[in-house]
Amino acid sequence: MKNDKARTDWFKQARFGMFIHWGDYSVLGRGEWVMWQEQIPPEKYAKYADQFKPTKYNPETWAALAKEAGMKYMVLTTRHHDGYCLFNTATTKFNAAQTGPGRDLIAPYVKACRKAGLKVGLYYSLGDWRNPDFWKHWTTTPKKGSSHWDQMVANVHAQVRELCTNYGQIDLIWYDGGFFPQDRTLAEAYDSKRLNAMIRRLQPQIIINNRSGLPEDFDTPEGHITASLPGRLWESCMTHNKHWAYFADDDLFRPARSVVIDITACAWGGGNYLLNVGPKPDGTIPAPSVKMLKEVGGWMRRNGEAIYGSERCEVTGAAFGVTTAKPGRIYLLVHWWPGTELKVPGAGIKPRKAWILSTKKPVKFRVQGKDLFFTGLPAQSPEPMTTVIGLEM
């Protein structure tokens, strides 16, 4: 395995990435769990894949939007729990090259990421609802020796090998879809040690998440922001509305300010933020998500210095928001603007100078004991989504 720092440093610097849930389930427009939630039998569900015709699929547009948003990497669902593969595979005809689109959808995605200078991430579900054992034992694995289960695991290993062999360099593998085994660990159920060893032989620079039952390189809290212990890489994945894949009736899209606050919360804890969007079945990203990403991108261009490559900070955010740090600098990310004066109690620091990051305007300050006061601030926040005050130490 390559030196850990060399392998993982890009991830630590990135802080912000795009997650994309997209597949045959997008045709139904009721989320990626529709097969399970509506208990659609596999043979009936398979027919929907024939309707998956993404005539407007252009991953270069996705990548350009991710880059405009200030994202540094992308992660796309190559296979979700329904077993449908967006890549050509020798293991099943239930794939985009042979059913539905009639072409491999992962190759152009990988190419688009590379062209845009984004790191390439592949999501892969270990489980497959079409397998009788997985369908029946969603929360408990069948007893050892099941031929159905063994065949599913063999397919997992074969498909992951294809993903790591057929598309050049892959930077990140994002497992999902395992469940809580009855008589063995998750790692034993999927033979994860051997699986991940194979990946590392084929892609020695890759980083792997923790959802194969082994810790590997990084943790993945989902739907919430919970920092791992210092020194451990982590990434919080959250979605723009209430579903991961396209849901036609879900209009509860979060505003850009909410997303910015999530990004800063992850950076404050030394982690990354993986923000999901769910393209329509034709391959286009819904307009509310496009609008949000452009707005977030504007904020990141003005304030990204406080996010990219940042570390946890010893100064607390008190009542105003959160903090991050870099060598020689501290950043105060002020979510809740206090008016013309801001107090940082117990800061215990003596800055050399202070300024508003987006406008570069200097900020007056004074130190009283361990408290730090900023005075003469604008009455209204210069950055409605979150104003950043930079401090040179």
pLDDT for the residue numbered 140: 60
Q: What is the pLDDT of residues 297-343, one digit of tens each?
A: 999 999 999 999 999 999 987 889 999 999 999 999 999 999 999 99
Does this model's pTM top 0.75? My answer is: yes
Q: What is the pLDDT of residues 116-159, one digit of tens each?
A: 999 999 999 999 999 887 776 555 666 666 788 889 999 999 99
Mean pLDDT of all residues in 202-207: 98
**Strand-pair partners of 366:** 373
**Phi first, then psi: what are they for 288, rounded to 5°?**
-60, -35
Say whether domain 321-392 belongs to CATH 2.60.40.1180. Answer: yes
Q: What is the pLDDT of residues 39-74, one digit of tens each?
A: 999 999 999 999 999 999 999 999 999 999 999 999
DSSP designation for 229: P
**Phi first, then psi: what are they for 274, rounded to 5°?**
-105, 105
pLDDT for the residue numbered 372: 96
pLDDT for the residue numbered 133: 77
- Output the furthest CA–CA distance in the chain (Å, rounded): 72
4-306, CATH topology level: TIM Barrel (3.20.20)
Q: CA-CA distance, 101 to 116, in Å (whole number)? A: 24
Q: What is the pLDDT of residues 150-192, one digit of tens each?
A: 899 999 999 999 999 999 999 999 999 987 566 788 899 899 9
pLDDT for the residue numbered 137: 58
SS3 helix, strand, coil % of the chain, rounded to 5? 30, 20, 45
pLDDT for the residue numbered 141: 63
By C-alpha distance, which of 325, 273, 262 is closest to 16? Answer: 273
CA dihedral 233, 217, 61, 115 (to 10 degrees): 110
pLDDT for the residue numbered 180: 56
Q: What is the pLDDT of residues 363-376, one digit of tens each?
A: 999 999 999 999 99
- CB 367: neighbour CB atoms within 10 A? 14
Domain boundaries, the chain: 4-306, 321-392
pLDDT band, very low/low/confident/very high, at 226 (cuts 50, 70, 90): very high
Is the Cβ–Cβ distance between 389 and 331 less than 8 Å? yes
